[in-house]
Structure 1
């Protein structure tokens, strides 16, 4: 119940929008086309078409699973930041279909969370005030509490301290 109140006070609706990367899907289609074309001399056009369909299908599934993993991590980070007292105004997609990336709007500035959304090699990237860090998404998901704590300290506690000139 307390988490619900914190969510309502923060202004965030509680939903991380989907962020499918069209550029990555285009790369999947091109790579599948090149790989399938190798089959034309050996198995003919039907084998090449079947290989293309299988490769594109697999690539799309791998991307969607990677996007879901990054979205889960982003959701976990935002929930932990709100529970720790961070003021989250909203979470939006950073680019319309061109990146797997979200912008977390806070009172202290914007935090960009995203990465490479391909499940076996998924990478998480977090950027705040021009400084970014990248890590393996599986590692980030396994250590989400520690990651959220360190990012909270950096983005909310240190970032909200008055700057001295």
Structure 2
């Protein structure tokens, strides 16, 4: 599935999945941290031991980022899918980033919603920001409660937000 923008209408409905958001900055941080940690092993185990430690630490860090990104992407996809099923209009979903966070910007007729978080598997957190107000929850908790979370966010963004803007 691909994100599409339908021609001939002022808004487009979301009909796809969110884009992949592997973040080179997070991967760079992982590699630098693995290098520093591995360098501590040089006096004790030699260059070969430090190199092996670097490979293991960098591999685990990259795997952690890949798993964290997939988890956040899956959550963002399910949130957006729930919103469209409930009647919300999604114009576009694009990858964005802020600091060390992996994010997707969701364009709606009522404004921009930012969905994302820190994409490192054991500490991944899902955050949602709309009109300058945001909240975050552990990604594992969000996966367990995705339906109620999506319904609450839909109510806040598409129902209450639309009513507030029309007043």
TM-score surpassing 0.5?
yes
- CA deviations on 1:63-98 (whole Å, 9 max, x unpaired) are 000000000000000000000000011111014996
Matches within 5 A, 1:1-165: 10-95=12-97, 99-163=101-165
CA pair 93-124 structure 1, distance change in 2 beyond 3 A:
same
Give the RMSD, CA atoms, in angstroms.
2.2
The whole-number CA distance in structure 1 between the counterparts of 2:148 and 2:121 is 22
The whole-number CA distance in structure 2 between the counterparts of 1:95 and 1:117 is 11
Which stretches in structure 1 are left out of the alignment for 5+ residues?
1-7
Task: Note if contact 1:124-1:137 (Cα within 8 Å) is conserved in structure 2.
Answer: yes
Runs of 4+ in structure 1 displaced over 3 angstroms? 95-99, 162-165
The whole-number CA distance in structure 1 between the counterparts of 2:14 and 2:104 is 13
Task: Note if contact 1:10-1:82 (Cα within 8 Å) is conserved in structure 2.
Answer: no
Q: TM-score when scaled to structure 2? A: 0.88
Q: TM-score when scaled to structure 1? A: 0.89
Q: How many residues align?
A: 159
Which stretches in structure 2 are left out of the alignment for 5+ residues?
1-5
